[in-house]
């Protein structure tokens, strides 16, 4: 790393650390503010993006646990148990969840805690849907099927079809 890039990183980190509980938006804003200083006019976009990711990693961006609001349904049976999850993993040759988790960690540099919280939120959502093995009729709609998903600090996860 060149001396100018090192100074850019250190100045950006210092600016971010002056903000209590800095969000990703705060980090991006502070790094861009430092990049606009005349001293750092030679800093390129790649260095700016790398600095943002490095500071996000160092500062440990977090995500709160998912919250579930659902109506009480006496007929609904919880079905997504640990045994059922293990069964799904055992018989599913395509590892979508594991691949997505690896992608978030390795490519997007998400902290492990955030990836775990996304997995927990996904399981919470899926557990409120009907059991796909249940051959009987079941209905999940109305307020109970509204799903709101917010990753703290505006981190957007792309869920591809």
Q: Which of 25, 23, 43 is nearest to 10 (CA)?
A: 43
Is the residue at 9 inside a domain? yes
Is the residue at 41 inside a domain? yes
Is the residue at 68 inside a domain? no
Evaluate the CA torsion angle 88, 89, 94, 98 in order and state its sign.
Answer: positive
Q: What is the pLDDT of residue 142?
A: 54
Q: What is the pLDDT of residue 45?
A: 93
87 and 118 both lie in a single domain: yes
Left if phi > 0, otherwise alpha if psi is -120 to 50, otherwise beta: which for 156?
beta
Number of domains comprising the chain: 2
Distance CA 19, CA 27 (A): 9
Q: What is the pLDDT of residue 133?
A: 83
Domain of 142? 82-154
93 and 148 both lie in a single domain: yes
90 and 127 both lie in a single domain: yes
Is the residue at 46 inside a domain? yes
Q: What is the pLDDT of residue 121?
A: 84
51 and 88 both lie in a single domain: no
Is the residue at 74 inside a domain? no
What string of pLDDT tens digits covers the 161 residues of the chain? 689 999 999 999 999 988 877 888 889 999 999 999 999 999 999 999 999 988 888 777 667 777 777 777 777 777 888 888 888 878 776 777 888 888 887 887 777 777 888 888 888 888 877 788 888 776 666 544 455 555 443 344 544 32
Q: Which SS3 state, helix, strand or coil, does residue 19 take?
A: coil
Is the residue at 118 inside a domain? yes
Confidence (pTM): 0.54
């Amino acid at each position: 790393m060149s001396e100018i890039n090192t100074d850019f990183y250190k100045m950006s980190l210092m600016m971010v650390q002056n903000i209590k509980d800095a969000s990703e938006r705060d980090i991006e804003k502070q790094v861009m503010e430092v990049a606009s200083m005349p001293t750092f006019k030679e800093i390129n976009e790649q260095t700016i993006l790398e600095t943002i990711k490095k500071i996000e990693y160092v500062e440990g961006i977090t995500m709160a646990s998912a919250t579930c609001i659902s109506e009480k349904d006496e007929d609904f049976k919880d079905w997504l148990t640990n045994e059922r999850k293990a069964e799904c993993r055992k018989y599913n040759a395509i590892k979508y969840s594991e691949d997505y988790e690896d992608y978030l960690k390795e490519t997007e540099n998400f902290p492990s805690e955030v990836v775990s919280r996304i997995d927990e939120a996904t399981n919470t959502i899926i557990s409120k849907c009907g059991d796909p093995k249940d051959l009987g009729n079941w209905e999940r709609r109305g307020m109970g099927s509204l799903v709101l998903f917010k990753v703290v600090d505006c981190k957007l996860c792309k869920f591809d079809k």
